[in-house]
Structure 1
Amino acid sequence: MPGRETGADEVVVDGRRRDRHTAEGGRSDAGGCVPSTRTVSAVVSPGFGARRRWAVVAGLVALLAGLPSLIGAIPASDRDVPAADLRSAVLASDMVAFSGYAESAGGLALPVTDQLASVADLFSDRTLMRVWWRGPADNRVDVVTPTGEISTHRDATGTWTWEYESATATRGALGPLELPAPLDLLPSALGRRLLSEAADGELSRIGARRVAGRDGLGLRLSPVDQASSVSRVDVWVDGDSGVPLQVQVYGEDARRPALDTRFLDLELAAPGPEVTAFSPPAGAVVREDRGVDLVEAAQQVTGPGLPLTLAGLDRRPMEGLPRGLGVYGRGVTLLAVVPAPGRLTEELRRALGASPGAVVDELGVRASIGPLGLMVVDRPGGRAYVLTGSVTLDALAAAAAEMPELGGRP
């Protein structure tokens, strides 16, 4: 149905008022909407207030949140696929085009700082996402909330983030080390990353379940690294495409997952290029996202640099990283060592020290939040480092004790 004009920034499409960027972006059922039998719609009058205008979105969020239990009640058909073959299918699925809805539920009460609040929200809250995937360098993820949407469009050189309510477009560049984003919590992306370096001996089959109306073949990853704080990762894989449908990450001795992300609806068809492409609309506020410049801080480090191993984990070769910044381990077991700017360090030290079970000693302050370990290490001369990853408190302490005396400005 053609759109009816309502103003400079909004149109009515199929009886729903939507911002012009969304309407022109191709948000039709073919672009990834929930099928019409589960679509909530309403006619919005010109006087509809902001709170009532988003009531329709809130209803949709509630409806989608209830779908997994309903769909999961349908028996799933398993297939006799070896664990190693299923992993290979997952790793080959990055070019499978699709669109749909996904939901991530995190149970990690991360210490909150001003600069990392968005990361803490991702891992502690329930996040509903719409996704259009044409490939790793051509995709779009919208985070849907009761009060609006934030769209992130990825291309070959970076990302555009569009905030409709504030009419702000933010350009972000791709770097060697980036903070987690909603894209990273999609079951398709997270499943591929966690399985990418798994050894055959760490994998086993665990039956099947229904996810997003599809038969998900179960694959369990049980890390063997002594430093790992993750007891297992369960991945449910679409047998036809290899796309991970659901990922659950469990910490040591945990009965409930610390992170559970799943598709609620999935269509294995390529969305049009106009859906994922983005150009800032006329009149938009355009800005550059510098983020937390961890690489710049690491470039100030002098001395011998970080060692080749820490806490029994080998340093990963990563192009573009300065010697003052390191990532150790493989697969599910990773440890990042980052020289942190002073303001971030102070905020994190205070928040971390207030966490339940925090340890404060001559090495620094450290705590475990589910399977995630965090530590602030003070070095001579005022240099502070943040150690974080899916490792135990003992591994953090061992890494801190093994770090050399590194110079540089704080």
Structure 2
Amino acid sequence: MKRKRVAGTAAVGAAAGVLGLTVPALPAGAADPNLPAIAPEKLVASVMTAQPPAMAGTVKVDNNLGLPAIPGLEGSSTALSGGTSTMRVWTDGQGKQRLSIPSTGEETTVINDGTTVWKWNSAENTVTKYRHDTGAESDTPHRSAPANPTATAKRIIDTLRQSSKVAVDGTASVAGRDAYELVLTPKSTERTVLREVRIAVGAEKRIPLRITVNTNGSDDPALQAGFSKLEVAPQDAELFRFTPPAGAQVRQGEQHERRDADSGTHPKPRVVGDGWDSVLVTRVPQQALQQRETRQGSEEQQRPGLRGFVERAGKQVSGPWGNGWIISSKAGSGLLTSDGRLAVGAVPGQVLTEAMRHP
């Protein structure tokens, strides 16, 4: 079974409503593996039931979204600001995870020890603790960190398969491992800017090794994420334990449901619609909207808030839902309102404004 040649390289995405990560190109002259044919439905079923093994790997991220760097997300969301980046991923096969995300002059480490999620920023020497949500499968130790391609791809398949045409389009080699190319294409009724999502599924373990997102109107992928190195083997238990470094400022992170003095309980983020044109609607904490001071070493620095960034980079819009600003990229759009509501999705801006009208 040989992979059909498609225009451009494969790409993958996931983001603040828009998706993203990337995988390395194959060496020149590398041959696609010859694997037994498999029906798309059987391949999807095997992916959804496969248990990720204990493993360690390097994920390479290539981002061609065209988004400017987002203030306040530099350390943990390098995949959003464009270009190429890498991260290290470890899992113990029992639900514990570790991510190491290097950036210029700093590193963000996220550890899920099974009961608590720890996020450490080396530059600021700050640690944020989150209660681990044991009631749902998590694609990352915390939503503020980039997802590993294995869990992200399973979530994508589960979300999109009912509204997609599903096919197996040949084979590939990812991190030295044979894989099938699973392709999800939106049905004609879906309102999305995406053309397809390609997922390289390991032939042996049936775990996703790479995810690629291609968009309408472009032969080049918008985003792609996949393993450039992968070792499937038991991992040292110490990798999944965390003790805050000496002198680190430790704070409790907000959960999805939290209280304030004005409005009581903020609802959990909600999804409007389904499939490819689903929109995530949430509310941004006031702290993230406003300019704030941070400390790097012995120096205090001013970091612009999300609202100031969107006002400069976005297009102003208004409607029955209120007023705000839209930022669009190759793989989707984001709408921030003046009162802090946020809608994101792999859709045109009009779909976001319609979602804002839903209670």
**Same fold? TM cut 0.5:** yes
Contact in 2 for aligned 1:294/1:341 (Cα 8 Å): no
1:75 aligned partner: 32
Instruction: Give the 3 Å change call, closer, same or farther, for CA 206–297 of structure 1 in structure 2.
Output: farther
Deviation at 1:230, TM superposition (A): 2.2
Counterpart AA for 2:49: A
Contact in 2 for aligned 1:216/1:236 (Cα 8 Å): yes
2:13 aligned partner: none
- 1:210 alignment partner, one of 160, 166, 173: 173
Deviation at 1:86, TM superposition (A): 1.4
- 2:80 alignment partner, one of 97, 111, 123: 123
Counterpart AA for 1:82: A
Structure 1 position 336 matched with structure 2 position 280: yes
1:385 aligned partner: 341
Q: 1:9-24 to 2 correspondence within 5 Å?
A: none
Deviation at 1:95, TM superposition (A): 3.2
Deviation at 1:260, TM superposition (A): 0.5
Contact in 1 for aligned 2:165/2:185 (Cα 8 Å): yes
What CA distance in whole angstroms lies between the structure 1 residues aligned with 2:31 and 2:128? 42
Deviation at 1:146, TM superposition (A): 6.7
Provide the secondary structure at the position in 1 that maps to 2:242.
coil
Contact in 2 for aligned 1:162/1:170 (Cα 8 Å): yes
Contact in 2 for aligned 1:142/1:152 (Cα 8 Å): yes
- The more displaced of 218-227 and 147-156 is 147-156
Deviation at 1:161, TM superposition (A): 3.0
1:31 aligned partner: none
CA deviation map 1:64-92 (0-9, x unaligned)? x9974328724322331111221222222
Deviation at 1:343, TM superposition (A): 5.9
Q: 1:84-233 to 2 correspondence within 5 Å?
A: 84-110=41-67, 112=69, 114-118=71-75, 121-125=78-82, 126-135=84-93, 137-145=95-103, 147=105, 149-163=107-121, 169-174=127-132, 179-182=143-146, 184=147, 186-199=148-161, 202-224=165-187, 226-233=190-197
Contact in 2 for aligned 1:298/1:339 (Cα 8 Å): no
Deviation at 1:232, TM superposition (A): 1.0
What CA distance in whole angstroms lies between the structure 2 residues aligned with 1:301 and 1:227? 34
Deviation at 1:226, TM superposition (A): 2.5
Return 5+ residue gaps in structure 2 as ranges.
1-21, 291-304
Q: 1:354-365 to 2 correspondence within 5 Å?
A: 354-355=312-313, 358=315, 360-362=317-319, 363-364=322-323, 365=325
Deviation at 1:237, TM superposition (A): 0.8
* Aligned-pair Cα RMSD in Å: 3.4
Contact in 2 for aligned 1:68/1:211 (Cα 8 Å): no
How high is the sequence identity, in percent, across the aligned residues? 22
Q: Structure 1 length normalisation: TM-score?
A: 0.65
Query: How many residues get paired?
Result: 312
Contact in 1 for aligned 2:316/2:326 (Cα 8 Å): yes
What CA distance in whole angstroms lies between the structure 1 residues aligned with 2:123 and 2:306? 30
Deviation at 1:264, TM superposition (A): 0.8
Structure 1 position 376 matched with structure 2 position 298: no
What CA distance in whole angstroms lies between the structure 2 residues aligned with 1:180 and 1:271? 24
- 1:268 alignment partner, one of 227, 232, 249: 232
What CA distance in whole angstroms lies between the structure 2 residues aligned with 1:344 and 1:324? 17
CA deviation map 1:140-192 (0-9, x unaligned)? 1222457564332112222223455666544333469964413x1x2212211
The structure whose Rg is larger is 1
Provide the secondary structure at the position in 2 that maps to 1:226.
coil
Q: Would you tell me which structure has more helix in proportion to its own residues?
A: 1
Instruction: Give the 3 Å change call, closer, same or farther, for CA 276–74 of structure 1 in structure 2.
Output: farther
Contact in 2 for aligned 1:113/1:344 (Cα 8 Å): no
Contact in 1 for aligned 2:326/2:335 (Cα 8 Å): yes
Provide the secondary structure at the position in 1 that maps to 2:46.
helix
Contact in 2 for aligned 1:89/1:241 (Cα 8 Å): no
Structure 1 position 397 matched with structure 2 position 347: no
1:307 aligned partner: none
